[in-house]
Amino acid sequence: MATFKDIIGQEQIKEHLTNAIEQGKISHAYVINGERFSGKEFIANVFAMALQCEHPDGVEPCQECHSCKQALSANQPDIIRVTHEKPNTIGVDDIRTQINTDIAIKPYSSPRKIYIIQEGEKMTAQAQNALLKTLEEPPAYAVIMILTTNVDALLPTILSRCVVLNMKPVRDDLVKKYLMEELQIPDYKANVCVAFARGNLGKAKQLASSEEFDHIKEEAVSMLKYVQDMEINEMLAAVKKIQEYKFDVGDYLDILAIWYRDVLLFKATNDANHLIFKEEIQYIKKCADRCAYEGIEDILKALDKAKSRLKANVNFELTMELLLMAIKENS
């Protein structure tokens, strides 16, 4: 199903879009800004379906009419998804050909012509300037939706002509409920995915069904359990192993951070109920007994510093060695 009721969280965005439909005040241009996997595309698809629906149920698309069925199979001729050949760039020709030229042709079978630009942050300055010409004088039937992970990559002149909608983190209890009820994920695994996803439902879903994530989590936890007995070169070899997976190193560091937050929480409260890695309570307790509060804080700071260094393209091995030394010294 693809209705506004199926959107989990994002109440402000839902309210804005449903009010616009009810009042017939549809903007010609929207920017939906949020992290990868946060559900931007799903919201854009629901809104587009609702605008083109032949027999709407209030503000909801009916799911049954010809237009809805076409939209559900991504074949609605008046819902156009802008594509680009170069993986990291949306160029001026992409915009001119797929929007500027095409938009002059009236809708094929629907009241509106809707353009969805995914990865809008990849538009070059020239592409954005080309789009700006259309945004300045759009046809009455046109709606353009720009989906982006970085609203700051869009020109101020673009933003000034768009309604900007920012995705918000979804409450942890809603994410956990979805994982357990819809995907039948067990409680302990749902807790890890929720903590890791930080309000990003799509990321939580991805992690819940990822065998790679399970392997990486197990390897990280295995290293953390025996950190006292390992030499730095052994720890470095364990960390290097994760490069074999198609997984972001920053995500690996997040697993380490969640572990040490659990250690800090248990040390402060002596209560295992709110731990993410509660199934590892025996090792969490040992670590909490060994570590001083300042030591745990130093490890968490070192993890943040390592993430910043990797983002700045500092050498991977050097960054990891400095981090592991901090972990070893304070464990």
pLDDT of residue 1: 63
pLDDT of residue 170: 92
The helix (H) or strand (E) run that includes residue 144 is: strand 142-148
For 175-205, write each residue's pLDDT tens digit.
999 999 888 888 878 888 888 888 999 989 8
Q: What are the phi and psi torsion angles at 141 (to 5°)?
A: -90, 0
DSSP state of 5: G
For 57-101, write each residue's pLDDT tens digit.
889 999 999 999 999 998 999 999 999 988 889 999 999 999 999
pLDDT of residue 47: 95
Pairwise pLDDT comparison (179 vs 225), residue with the higher score: 179
Nearest Cα residue to 329 out of 284, 299, 293: 299
pLDDT of residue 243: 65
Alpha carbon distance, N-terminus to C-terminus of the chain: 49
Provide the CA 170 distance to its chain's centre, in angstroms: 11
Phi-psi region of 24 (alpha: psi -120 to 50; beta: other; left: phi over 0): left
Pairwise pLDDT comparison (197 vs 241), residue with the higher score: 197
Nearest Cα residue to 170 out of 34, 4, 16: 34
Residues 6+ apart with CB under 8 A from 319: 306, 309, 310
Mean pLDDT of the chain: 88
Tokens of 312: 């700045």
User: Can you tell me the distance from the alpha carbon of 72 to that of 70, in angstroms, rounded to the nearest whole number?
Assistant: 6
Domain coordinates of the chain in residue numbers? 4-166, 210-330
The helix (H) or strand (E) run that includes residue 81 is: strand 79-82
pLDDT of residue 211: 77
Burial of 218 (0-12, 13-18, 19+ CB in 10 A): exposed
CATH number for the domain running over 4-166: 3.40.50.300
CATH of the structural domain 210-330, one choice from 1.10.10.10, 3.20.19.10, 3.40.50.720, 1.20.272.10: 1.20.272.10
For 90-129, write each residue's pLDDT tens digit.
999 999 999 999 999 999 989 999 999 999 999 999 999 9
Q: What are the phi and psi torsion angles at 123 (to 5°)?
A: -65, 130
**236 pLDDT exceeds 80?**
no
What is the torsional sign of CA 132, 116, 97, 102? Answer: negative
For 38-50, write each residue's pLDDT tens digit.
999 999 999 999 9
Residues 6+ apart with CB under 8 A from 269: none
Distances (CA, A) of 259 to 11, 27, 221, 284: 32, 46, 8, 8
pLDDT of residue 226: 76
